[in-house]
Amino acid sequence: MPSGSERDATTLGEPMTTPSPSLVAPRPGAVTRFTERMVAHDLPALEPVRRSAAVAFAAERIADLPSPMALGVRVVSDVVDVVSRAGGERGAVAVVGFIARRPLPLIGDYARLVRSLTTAYVWETWPDTGPDGAAP
């Protein structure tokens, strides 16, 4: 049997883990605020407990993105957050509605990322959910 210093050429060593630096990772607050509003826009009848679970799921997955993608999401989420917060709650809802209706470059990709995660979570967790998010 080979010793610790000898390895089979087909065996990989320990996986390398490199955490994303905090300068690259999306800010959880910005992502959560946008995701909460996007889910409320797309699934208005979704119960608050279910909405919170879907938002938490999406925020966790977005926080685990690889560095290059995380940097892009951080830039876009920060821009969307600043614009959303400038107009107060009404302005934020209007910004999310605008983004939800228009396939804008980059910002539309951010909306699709959030929608794909939250929609998959809702219908995988509660398959009997209605198209507006209503429980049966």
Q: Is residue 77 part of a domain?
A: yes
- pTM, two decimals, is 0.75
Q: Is residue 16 part of a domain?
A: no
Tokens of 80: 């969307």
Q: Is residue 3 part of a domain?
A: no
Q: Is residue 134 part of a domain?
A: no
Q: Is residue 50 part of a domain?
A: yes
Domain count, the chain: 1
12-55 pLDDT, tens digit per residue, is 556 555 544 555 666 778 889 899 999 999 999 999 999 999 99
Q: Is residue 4 part of a domain?
A: no
Residue 120 region by backbone torsions, left for phi larger than 0, else alpha for psi between -120 and 50, else beta: alpha
Domain that holds residue 40: 28-125
Task: List the helix and strand counts (H, then E) for the chain.
Answer: 5, 0
